[in-house]
């Protein structure tokens, strides 16, 4: 009689042991956050590098300098991890010449024409660092400052790093003391989340974004022209020679900007003067989290899906990379990485038809972007 129950008992024991083992690996063993020193800035500020690892072995290293994602390792279709972001080996290289690899960008990402705008009848003049225009926060934007960091270790489904920075009234020409918090979270669902919050004590403008250069084939694997890109954007904002929007919002249908169905990045790039560096107007006009982009790399099978609460996304095809950027054992040439920067529209302070980027005292700026990784 009793012998009949032995296999059942054994099965229960095996299931229990296996289950516990998984639980341990998941909850305690593998998920971690580690801190190491990563050098000093010219003015003597210590910079740290945090390594976040999720329960599936996905790993990212984030620096307190610029909130920069230095590495991001995700699996291919065979489960092999590969580092899919462009970056450098040392802090000095980032300080010397960084085309915003992996960085947090602010106070205003993208361009503001002639670095000028008017708020409540007062004209403000910002630092100009892109010909006559203001780009990505100016000469010393949020990508070049040291953020305060606090690991968020007590979670069970994710591991996070909270970064804070106070941008002082007048910094790079912007009005108001702006208190910013950015939380990077690596979840056990293989997502890298970037969540932003900010408050000001004087009316100002704000447009924060994240500027990783991705190459889903691996950061040193050559160009990204074979990646298939889909954008949930029926419209885009045409630009002039200096990449300043003309103010129009045009349908992508029938143009080189149509990525509403998956399309290799390289399919039409030769016809796009200078390559892609355009702001796409997302069909979800902002506020709630919705899919903005999906990218597939056929050789490795890696997929990245980006969801955001922002109303737009800048697609930049690494046009200015010219081989002078060497990092992590690789040389980065033209089109060796692409950026998908979730944001409000460029030059919004000077374009009354674009969604406003004004932040008033008492209001809170919020922005959430989720990068989800898988393979097929």
> Contact residues for ligand GLA (CB under 6 A)?
99-100, 110, 135, 243, 277, 314, 316, 320, 339, 341
**Min CB(279)–ligand GLA separation in Å:** 8
Instruction: State how far the Cα of 137 lies from the Cα of 156, in Å rounded to an integer.
Output: 36
Of 341, 344, 367, 371, catalytic: 341
Closest CB to ligand GLA among residues 82, 335:
335
Closest CB to ligand GLA among residues 231, 375:
231
227 assigned to active site: no
- Which residue, among 250, 220, 224, has the nearest Cα to 332 in the 3D structure? 220
Backbone angles phi, psi at 92, to 5 degrees: -55, -40
Closest CB to ligand GLA among residues 99, 160:
99
**Min CB(157)–ligand GLA separation in Å:** 32
| Residue 163 neighbours by CB under 8 Å, 6+ apart | 64, 67, 104, 147, 148, 149, 181, 182, 183, 184
Instruction: State how far the Cα of 181 lies from the Cα of 183, in Å rounded to an integer.
Output: 7
Cis-peptide into 100, omega within 30 deg: no
341 assigned to active site: yes
DSSP states of 283-330 = SS-SSS-EEEEEEE-TTT-EEEEEEESSSEEEEE--TT--S-EEETTE
Q: Which residue is nearest to ligand GLA (CB)?
A: 316
Instruction: State how far the Cα of 68 lies from the Cα of 152, in Å rounded to an integer.
Output: 17
Of 134, 211, 219, 367, catalytic: 211
**Min CB(337)–ligand GLA separation in Å:** 10
Closest CB to ligand GLA among residues 58, 243:
243
Asked if 224 and 275 count as a contact pair (C-beta separation under 8 A), the reply is no
Closest CB to ligand GLA among residues 31, 243:
243
**Min CB(98)–ligand GLA separation in Å:** 9
**Min CB(308)–ligand GLA separation in Å:** 16
Instruction: Kindly state the helix (H) or strand (E) to which residue 92 belongs, with its residue range.
Output: helix 91-96
Q: Residues with catalytic annotation?
A: 211, 341
């Amino acid at each position: 009689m009793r012998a009949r129950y032995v296999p059942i008992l054994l099965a229960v024991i095996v299931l229990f042991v296996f289950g516990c083992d998984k639980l341990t690996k998941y909850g305690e063993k593998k998920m971690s956050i580690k801190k190491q020193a990563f050098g000093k800035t010219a003015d003597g500020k210590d910079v740290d590098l945090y390594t976040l690892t999720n329960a599936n072995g996905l790993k990212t290293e984030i620096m307190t300098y610029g909130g920069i994602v230095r590495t991001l390792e995700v699996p291919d279709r065979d489960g092999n991890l590969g580092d899919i972001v462009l970056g450098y080996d040392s802090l000095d290289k980032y300080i010397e010449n960084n085309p915003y690899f992996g960085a947090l960008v602010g106070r205003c990402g993208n361009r503001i024409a002639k670095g000028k705008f008017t708020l409540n009848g007062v004209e403000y003049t910002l630092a100009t660092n892109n010909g006559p225009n203001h780009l990505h926060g100016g000469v010393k934007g949020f990508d070049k400052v040291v953020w305060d960091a606090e690991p968020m270790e007590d979670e069970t489904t994710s591991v996070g790093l909270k970064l804070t920075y106070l941008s002082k009234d007048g910094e790079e020409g912007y009005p108001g003391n702006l208190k910013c918090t950015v939380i990077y979270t690596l979840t056990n669902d293989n997502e890298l989340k970037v969540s932003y919050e900010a408050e000001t004590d004087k009316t100002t403008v704000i447009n924060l974004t994240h500027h990783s250069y991705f190459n889903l084939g691996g950061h040193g694997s050559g160009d990204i022209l074979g990646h298939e890109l889909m954008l949930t954007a029926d419209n885009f904002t045409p630009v002039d020679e200096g990449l300043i929007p003309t103010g129009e919002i045009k349908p992508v249908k029938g143009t080189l900007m149509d990525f509403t169905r998956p399309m290799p990045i390289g399919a039409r790039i030769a016809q796009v003067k200078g390559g892609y560096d355009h702001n796409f107007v997302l069909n979800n006009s902002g506020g709630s989290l919705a899919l903005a982009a999906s990218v597939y790399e056929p050789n490795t099978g890696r997929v990245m899906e980006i969801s955001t609460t922002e109303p737009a996304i800048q697609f930049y095809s690494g046009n200015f990379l010219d081989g002078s950027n060497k990092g992590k054992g690789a040389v980065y040439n033209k089109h060796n990485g692409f950026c998908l920067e979730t944001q409000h529209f460029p030059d919004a302070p000077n374009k009354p038809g674009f969604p406003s980027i004004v932040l008033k005292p008492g209001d809170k700026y919020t922005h959430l972007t989720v990068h989800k990784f898988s393979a097929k």
